[in-house]
Amino acid sequence: MYGLIGKIKSVEGKRDELIGILTASTGEMPGCLSYVVARDPDDAEAVWITEVWESQAAHRASLQIPEVKAAIAAGMALIDSFDVHISTEPVGGHGLKPAKS
């Protein structure tokens, strides 16, 4: 499995709009086992995204899905900075959905 932990800061006042885009586009991504979008309670512009994918290849492939490309294009205008970007190797746990293929 392949994981990502990221922190993005929105343009001031645009966090909710950015979250709306991030959560709207995550329904049906092949190989996506978990994709959680969260507010940072201590930073009005910060968004945490934690992801689990079947493989790094599945994550890369998702970036070519038309809906995802459109979401990235729309989201970029609302993003001020990428503050944290950590790759992980998930090994197990609870709540990982069976992958859609």
Q: Could you list the residues that contact its own copies (CB under 8 A)?
A: 1, 3, 5, 19, 22-23, 26-27, 29, 32-41, 48, 50, 52, 86-97
Kindly state the smallest distance separating residue 7's Cβ from its own copies, in Å: 9
Rounded-to-integer distance, Cα 34 and Cα 91, Å: 13
Q: From CA 34, how far away is CA 43, in angstroms rounded?
A: 24
Name which of 6 and 11 has its Cβ closer to its own copies: 6
Chain centroid to Cα 11, Å, comes to 17
Q: Using CA atoms of 57, 55, 53, 20 in order, give the dihedral in degrees to the nearest 10.
A: -10
What's the closest the beta carbon of residue 29 comes to its own copies, in angstroms? 7
Least Å distance between CB 100 and its own copies? 10
